[in-house]
Structure 1
Amino acid sequence: MPSASHATLTTPVTPELVRGALELEETHDGLLPHRLPAWARAQCADGQLAMAESQPSGVRVVFRTRATVVELETVPTKRVYAGAPPRPEGLYDLLVDGRPAGQASATGGNTVTVDMSTGSAEMSAGPAGSVRFDGLPDTDKEVEIWLPYNEITALVALRTDAPVEPAPASGRRTWLHHGSSISHGSDAASPTTIWPALAAAAGDVDLVNLGFGGSALLDPFVARTMRDTPADLISLKIGINLVNADLMRLRALGPAVHGFLDTIRDGHPDTPLLVVSPILCPMHEDTPGPTAFDFSRLAEGKLAFVASGDPEERAEGKLTLNAVREELERVVETRAKDDPHLHLLDGRLLYGERDHAELPLPDGLHPDAAAHRLIGERFAAHVFAADGPFGVGD
């Protein structure tokens, strides 16, 4: 390997190099991407949301360079669940001029150990690590490093064998999406193969992903964040977390959805806005939450979930996925009479009964890598088609 393979130039990671984050926080570890702004984070003390929004799903470091070697120094924060099988290492995906060109995991970093029986967590600090990609073409090119969707990642510096400069704006439309852990990426193979990233690539749009594991709960501060975020296209995938958390009753759901949509429309009155109902999840189709860990499966070394509600409780207003779908259909049908840019997509068109027979949810809740690809392809086919809600002619 020639001497040019040595990464001798150091470039601090600055906001101009980061896309897909709504805020970047200066920390002692480095520049920490957030997917909610500080004022929004201050309105919720939920540790689950704090973890989810600071995991950089959809966030990427983007620059132009002739470098043949690129190293990204980071301080990752990895999670370990006591008594559960090890979680896969977070992956960094490298794209060169939009094409996959490598994958790597970062060494070092912090570890958070979670006790699922008590909910307690302990942090142990570790050193900075890095990911390295070499053998890149010695040409001027756009380089993207997509950060792990499942590891909090503080950005320290780039090391290269040629100068780095910020990439110009892509000129593509910006798609702002909000959803649950499925949109966040749970159990996908890598950051560019979570279903929203796959759909964004197929639709030739720039993704801003506000998919928050366990936290798509119609929070008003999320609606205000979306109201204030520039976007050409907006989508909401609503339902599964409301059932998981047993958060509200049917009486509250309709007004909450109306309020969320009202707030978004305050900032985006004519933007194509798509509401997506839940994909199929058999355990919660007609059984309310809350969702619980399946400790019998955990004893076998497998992470899985169960519905702990009673189907009879739907009559009392407890939410099931079918109840949510019916209410979303009612709300969108009512509003669409005066809002021609509002659309609804039944999530079962993305993943339904036939798909579950072929690609069952491994833990009862989350799609695997193959199902993420299926959902992303179907979303693009339904939504980004010329006559779809996000078609160029909308």
Structure 2
Amino acid sequence: MIKNAITTPITGDIVRGAIDLESTETGTIAHRLPDWARAQCLDPQLAMAEAQPSGVHLVFRTTATEIALEAVPTKRSYVGMPPRPNGMYDLLVDGKLVQQATIDAGHVLHIDMTKGTATPQKGAPGFARFTELPSGPKNIEIWLPHNETTELFALHCNAAIEPGRMNAPSTPNRRVWLHYGSSISQGSDAASPTGTWPAVAALACNVDLINMGFGGGALLDPFIARTIRNEKANLISLKIGINLVNADIMRLRAFTSAVHGFIDTIRDGHPLTPLLVISPIYCPIHEETPGPCNFDFAALANGTLKFQATGDRGETAHGKLTLQIIRDELSKIVTQRSSTDANLHYLDGQSLYGPADYAHMPLPDELHPDAATHHKIGDRFIANVFGPNGVFAPA
């Protein structure tokens, strides 16, 4: 343990990117949905995803050269699959990634995908340790794992900490970018929390990120639209489509109305905020084939996680959705609305990852991009959206 450590509890003044902080008997859990919204949906998939702190990070200034974050993560173990790597904690000094750490301890959720069961196993807290940091005053950010629920206990440092950033004249005017999407936006298969494509873009463009990417949960829920409406944000993006197809949860008639309603609700709170609607990236299994999406059980039997589309292409005549249909409809919706909403914009997701990319950077499980592809998508988002001619370009 750190000699003569100063212990600081986790409080809201050092947390960025969370919508709500839940106080437990022993610590704090960062949520990406408020408590009233969580009460409106008891779906265990969404509950797990929103409590995984993608984009959430601790921000403080200190002269400490040794820092230990005490926490208890909840890891996932899939029956019949190789062990998942521990969630990563990324430490940045003055905006640059300098160290990474993991916590071996923690709870474990044992998931059997063939039976549809999840069995919890209690564990103990542990420490993400960072040592030999540069001396002198500095800005520290600790980005929490994007794919593990993490109950935060305290920071232990060999010097005092102060909330916020120092020596950053642009901080008061730092823009807040709120992004909504699916597991791809949450960061599925990214190597670390700063390696998810939204984090790559946010860090490069000096904006504060609120990541509302929810694995399996981008289903145009009204309570999420109201959450976005209520949050302070200078930039908003909505990545819509893949979960609606692979969950087979809507038909075209309901989809069009739901998109309009989602945007209407957001506009109630953000009438002039730049709002970017992004269609799905390229995903061959669902380009022309509707959902539902299911596990490829033959691949699972061999210890490989892959997904497959199980819908019938002929059912699109009856309103079933595919990615191609969704792209066409989103483009029409934005074109229609932009005649009276100059700050509403559309981006074809295939400009971030398209057929040519799949040829040399395929989706390993046929659904999610790998770590290198997350960086590729982030770089393209920077160029297309935050670049000089982009809709999020600095004024």
Q: Counterpart of 2:192 in structure 1: which amino acid?
A: S
Q: CA deviation at 1:312?
A: 1.0
Deviations along 1:297-342, one digit per CA (max 9) or x if unpaired, are: 1111111100010111111110000011011011000000000000
1:335 aligned counterpart, secondary structure: helix
Q: CA deviation at 1:118?
A: 2.2
Deviations along 1:196-239, one digit per CA (max 9) or x if unpaired, are: 00011222211000000000000000000000000000000000
Which residue is 2:125 aligned to? 128
The residue correspondences of 1:197-346 to structure 2 (distance < 5 A) are: 197-346=199-348
TM-score (normalised: structure 1)? 0.97
Q: RMSD between aligned alpha carbons? A: 1.1
The farther-off stretch of 163-172 and 62-71 is 163-172
Distance in 2 between residues matched to 1:6 and 1:167, nearest whole Å: 25
Q: CA deviation at 1:27?
A: 1.0
Deviations along 1:139-170, one digit per CA (max 9) or x if unpaired, are: 10010000000100011000000001101493
Distance in 2 between residues matched to 1:7 and 1:108, nearest whole Å: 24
Which residue is 1:61 aligned to? 58
Q: CA deviation at 1:107?
A: 2.3
Structure 2: gaps spanning 5 or more residues: none
Q: Counterpart of 2:137 in structure 1: which amino acid?
A: D
Q: Which of 369, 377, 383 is the matching residue for 2:379?
A: 377
Distance in 1 between residues matched to 2:149 and 2:82, nearest whole Å: 20
1:14 paired to 2:11: yes
Which residue is 1:367 aligned to? 369
Distance in 1 between residues matched to 2:104 and 2:58, nearest whole Å: 18
% same residue: 60
Distance in 1 between residues matched to 2:103 and 2:306, nearest whole Å: 27
C-alpha contact (below 8 Å) 1:7/1:159 kept by paired residues: no
Which residue is 2:155 aligned to? 158
Deviations along 1:248-305, one digit per CA (max 9) or x if unpaired, are: 0001111100000000000000000000000000000000001000111111111110
Distance in 1 between residues matched to 2:394 and 2:96, nearest whole Å: 24
Q: CA deviation at 1:120?
A: 1.3
Q: CA deviation at 1:48?
A: 0.3
Distance in 2 between residues matched to 1:134 and 1:212, nearest whole Å: 33
Distance in 2 between residues matched to 1:62 and 1:193, nearest whole Å: 18
Number of matched pairs: 390
Which residue is 1:139 aligned to? 136
The residue correspondences of 1:15-34 to structure 2 (distance < 5 A) are: 15-34=12-31
The farther-off stretch of 143-152 and 76-85 is 76-85
Structure 1 segments of 4+ aligned residues over 2 angstroms from their partners: 168-171
C-alpha contact (below 8 Å) 1:18/1:60 kept by paired residues: yes
1:306 aligned counterpart, secondary structure: strand
C-alpha contact (below 8 Å) 1:7/1:69 kept by paired residues: no
Which residue is 2:98 aligned to? 101
